Amino acid sequence: MKKVIVDKKYNEKKLNSFLLNTFEGLSMNTLYKALRKKDIRVNDVKVSTNITVYAGDNIKIYVPDEQLFSQKNFKIDIVYEDENIVVINKPVEIEVIGENSLTSKLIKYYNSKNVFIKPCHRLDRNTTGLVLFAKNEFSLNILLNKFKNREIEKHYRALVYGIPSKSESILTAYLFKDAKKSFVYISDVPKKGYEKIITSYKVINSNKKNNTSILDINLITGKTHQIRAHLAHIGFPIIGDGKYGNGEINKRFKYKYQQLCSYSIKFCFTTNSGILDYLNNKKIEINKS
């Protein structure tokens, strides 16, 4: 789901015109399908026709990101590689899997459709940073198990609005994923259908003048949109986040995408790691800025 506010230049224009000009990857076919299914809301009212919109109207469109944005060409940025794994620095606006994704581009990079390249985890489309890929099935099975057992440590940097009162904290909450809306909800207490999440953060620095902070985040559990939704839930939305953040704040800072980067992966194996034993205690990082 994406939230957008109608700009004054589209005042008294048709909804279709506004959406097609706002989302460069949106096709007419996808748009009409969304209208038929009432997957578009104007000021929280479901619409099924090409209505007139007005400046300031709040539009929500429940369409997958890959159908809203055109996929751009990009250069594969290999941060680390050996015979079993490859770690890529993912740019913004790129899905990890799917058509014209980081995975499909990586397969083309190795110049063979039969090459074994599988991601061991994912990042959101507009989250940048390190993605770990397995180059054979043995490595994939080991790494998936290591992620499940929390034997791989991932750190992120996020620019958030607000200054936490605690310089560091381990946050526990409960997350519910609404797959149809591509949206997650956070609760402070257990609820039916909600899964426990744990997010650890440390304040790296704060700017009182513009009321922002840079956080170092250790993702202890790895659920969909966990960092973005969890930080927004406690009152520190990531700047640029169009889904869980604040539109007015994003506009003020002029960021189009969430300022969130996966900058570090560390292998902390405590159980048998087979052919990947050599990776134990290895840390792979990119520039933290």
Query: What does the pLDDT read at residue 108?
Result: 86
Q: Give the fold, CATH level 3, of 2-67.
A: 3.10.290
Q: Which region among 28-37, 105-114, 225-234, 243-252 has the lowest average model confidence (pLDDT)? A: 105-114
Check pLDDT > 60 for residue 160. Answer: yes
Nearest to 66 by CA among 160, 178, 182: 182
Query: What does the pLDDT read at residue 117?
Result: 95
Active site residue 124: yes
The percent of residues above 70 in pLDDT, for the chain, comes to 97
Query: What does the pLDDT read at residue 112?
Result: 67
Nearest to 222 by CA among 96, 109, 101: 96
Nearest to 160 by CA among 124, 213, 200: 213
Mean pLDDT of the region 118-146: 97
Query: What does the pLDDT read at residue 179?
Result: 87
Of these residues, 124, 178, 216, 277, which one is catalytic?
124
Average pLDDT of the chain, as a whole number: 93
CATH code given to domain 78-150: 3.30.70.580
Question: Widest CA span of the chain, in angstroms?
Answer: 64
Please name the residue that has the structure tokens 């299914």: 37
Check pLDDT > 60 for residue 289. Answer: no
- The answer to whether the predicted template modeling score (pTM) of the entire model surpasses 0.85 is no
Which residues partner with 281 through β-bridges?
none
Please name the residue that has the structure tokens 């994923």: 177
Check pLDDT > 80 for residue 269. Answer: yes
CATH code given to domain 156-263: 3.30.2350.10
Mean pLDDT of the region 17-26: 86
Model pLDDT for residues 59-73, shown as the tens digit of each residue: 999 988 777 876 566
CA dist 234 → 31, 171, 229 (Å): 34, 9, 9
Instruction: Enumerate the domain spans of the chain.
Output: 2-67, 78-150, 156-263
